[in-house]
Copies of this chain bind each other. A is one copy, B any other.
Amino acid sequence: MAVSNVDQIMLQAQNVCAENGLKLTKKRRQVLHALVMSTTALSAYELRESCKTETGDLLPPMSVYRILDFLQEAGFVHKLNLSNRYTACVHIACNHAHRFSQFLICVKCQLVTEINIPELTINNMKSDAESAGFELTKPQLEISGVCYTCKNKAA
Q: Which residues of A contact B (CB under 8 A)?
A: 81-82, 102, 104, 106-107, 113, 115, 117-118, 120-121, 124-125, 128-129, 131-139, 141-149, 151
Contacts and interface: CB of A to CB of B under 8 A. Distances in A.
Interface majority SS (helix, strand, loop, mixed), chain A: mixed
Contacts of A138: 144
Contacts of A120: 124
B143 A129 contact: yes
Contacts of A135: 145-148, 151
Q: How many copies does the complex hold?
A: 2
A125 B143 contact: yes
A84 B5 CA distance: 36
Contacts of A151: 135
Nearest to A124: B121
B104 A134 contact: yes
25 contacts: A81-B81, A81-B142, A102-B128, A104-B129, A106-B134, A107-B137, A115-B131, A115-B132, A117-B128, A121-B121, A121-B128, A129-B145, A133-B147, A134-B143, A134-B145, A134-B147, A135-B146, A135-B148, A135-B151, A136-B143, A136-B145, A137-B144, A137-B145, A141-B143, A142-B142
A88 B143 CA distance: 21
Given A139-B143, A143-B139, A144-B139, A104 B132 contact: yes
A134 B142 CA distance: 13
